[in-house]
Structure 1
Amino acid sequence: MRLKISAPQLFATVSLLLILGVAVSIGITQSSFYKNAIIERDARTVQDLVQALVTGRQSEGQLSVTDLEEYDTDRAQARLDQSFRGLTNVMGRARIKVFNRDGTIAWSDEPRLIGSPATRHTQDLARALRGEVRAILFDPEGAPKNPLDVFPASPLIEFYVPFSLAGGEPPGATSGALALYRSSDDLTDTIAKGQNLLWAMEGVGGLILFAALYGLFRRVYYGKRKAESQFARLSAEHTRLMQLERLSAMGQMVSEVAHQLNNPLVGVINLTELAQRELHNPERMKELLAEVRKAGADCRRFVQSMLVLNKVARAEPQLIDMARLVHDTIAFFQQSLGGEPRITMEATQGPVMVEVDPVLIRNALFNLIHNAAQADPAGHVTVTLVLEECAGVPRCSISVSDCGPGLALEVQNRLFTPFFTTRAGGTGLGLSIAKHIAVLHSGSIRAENKREGGARFVISLPLHA
């Protein structure tokens, strides 16, 4: 069975491991730095003590470079003993050795070591004689045994500090080095306490960082989950509302279709009943059958309009010259109506290339021109084609203006509603189809009243689909 891990649990595990790794690496680095800093501090303290001691003795004329070089004389030993004997009071002291520049022990609290090069760390001594301060932690238990140089069994720290005496060559050069061996118990205890404090601070800091990051992640994660849940719920609600709206629109359309077909069908039924009673009157029969034919023609025209509305949902755009399409549509309309009313076309010079479905655009434009002609049959219709830019997008606008009575406010609000019409015998689908065609081409259509009278319908289309 696969173990499922949630995103917060995965984040907690990964972040905790990362913080632990960083805290451990920083803790190791800081612990090492702290240990070295404490040891170096003690070494500098010993150096300052030794330098102050020899400087004071030299200023009193009680110590010189010669005493280090001629250490085997009684006078030199007496002066060296008086100079360095005070260091034997250092807490935890285990051994003191004073080396001259040759690396030979000129004085020690263990007289048997005087005159020998006895030291376990010759390289550190050499570096001290070159002016460096050295400090070494070591355990005498594991060191080679020297019967003349016996140490206690506890761990020690060994300081090698240089000192200078006036009169040396060259001036200011290191005159010798002092090695001080002392118990490291106090020092290691101080280091351990400091390191424990550092680790505790690292741990507390890491936990605070983890808690802050995890808390932030939880807020962001569950906030996102909540937002996604709300968005999904809103999407579902929106989808449901859209479905209800579609069903409502479909129901309204079915109702309108039924109404539009019912009226002529009722007339057909009534006319046929009348025709049955007038079988003996052929002339009356002809009149009634003519009315039946007219009602059937109305039904056919309505069904054809519905079929056109269905075809609007499918467009096959191609690059065409819109100026030519408008010109051809006007010419076709005038031929179909015998040249009335008078139609004027105003367009920019040259071709206007637009990516549209020419059949659908011609249908929409024909409907607008037809409506304008019916608004004022004896008037004048103007079709204008212009190029403009809207929100940085180049567009082509086709406006159809008439000189009729204009549009009432209550009519403007319902102009593009399917089946809405103010004209007797109209289907109410022409403007609705025109709007669908415009929207299908990512365009728009609007209706407005002109200041000088009449109405204007404007189709705005982007130059490229």
Structure 2
Amino acid sequence: MKYANEIFFLVFALILWGLLYGSRFILMSGKTNQSKKLWLTALTLTATSFTLFALASTISLFLLTLANTCFIASFIYFGLFCRSLSILIPKNVNMLVLAGLLFFAVLFEYLRQRGLFIQRVGLVSIIGALCFVWELKELMRLKGIGSTQLRFLVYTIAIEIALTVARFVALYIDGGFSTPNLYQEGVVSASIRWAWLGISILSYVAVLGYWLEKLSIENIQVAGEHEKITELLKEKERLIYGLMKANKTAATGALSASIAHELNQPLGASNLNIQFLKMKLEKGVLNPELGKEILDSLEQDNKRAATIVKSLRSIFTEGESNTQKVLLGDLIEKVLDIVKPELKSKNIQIQLQVDNGLLIQVNSAEIEQVILNLLNNAIQALANSGTLQRRIVIDAIRDGKSVQLSVSDNGPGVIADFKSQLFELLSTTKQTGMGLGLWLCKHIVTRYGGFIQYEDAVAGGARFVIKLPQAYQ
């Protein structure tokens, strides 16, 4: 058959082009690296060389020079691929390869025109065998080749070395000195050549199998990591649910503790009035005026306790706050009336300076509670100090579009280590109490778009500053 060699080359070329198309689709879909690029380059050069071998006899025998140059280039780039599996290839290697290929092309063309076919085969066989040995050496650098596909590649390259030598020997025996070109090669050497080229295709298939094997392992790892992430997300959801449940429980506990804490004052006052009333009744010296005064006081304490419960309930449920426009000065006066007996018993002076017309939009009971907490803190701090002239200063002024209220004392102040956690829930420096007062103050003030902060008083002691948005008529 006249064109048998050309048909075989064309079939092999189509197989390689199909392999290249499929492998590019697989390898380029993910992250590309140097090894993949080198292998694809080698595969492209081999497919190109087979195509040129198929066309050379009908177009121009000069294509044989180009075909063999591409063939040698494919050996070199396949060797670089094997090396890149363990070591990064420098970029300047491409220039050296191109220079070497140019020299080979010139030498091969010279042999094609003036030399013998067996000389050309010998040149290609020697370079090919050297490249195959190099490829084996680079693969052996991979300690304990774990890939079955790379182990198969070692076998195919070893077979290629054997077939390269066998072909040259067969060509010599078949009368290679009289063979004009590739297309008139003897049957034995030609058969070995086709076996050699077929094995070279298997080498490329082995590498593609290696990439697919690696991709499969990566997919398994990704699936495993995805499963771990899913488990972590589920665990996160469980933790969030647990925290929400714990937070709800903590909020309920804080509400209960806050109610107990805030009710201590009116209940304590009621208890004193009841004891006083019982004492008068036992002595028989209770007159109507005194009885009415005590009952009025008890009623007032009862109302204050009810207001505290209602106020705290609205705070923790974040419901309607029933705000209204009130004068800050009136709220301060109400609170001072409550603490006046305690101020007198502990010999504490009040210095009051309040601007007129300071209007705020709030629930009056809540802000009264804030002021009462700050005053009680100041009273307790002064009572436990050795200060002789005990003094609490209350200032209320306009500050731009805000109203600023400050409560300061000349007591011992707050210790440095405790300042950072002053407004935290259940944090206290007192011997008694649950650390709810200042936290509750901050909670109430921030609900109205304001803020509260602590400062060291100029003359020593503690100073708490509150800012609230100013309301307008």
**Counting strand residues as a fraction of each chain, which structure ranks higher?**
1
Which one has more relative contact order, counting CA pairs under 8 Å at least 6 apart? Answer: 1
Q: Over alpha carbons, which structure has the higher Rg?
A: 1
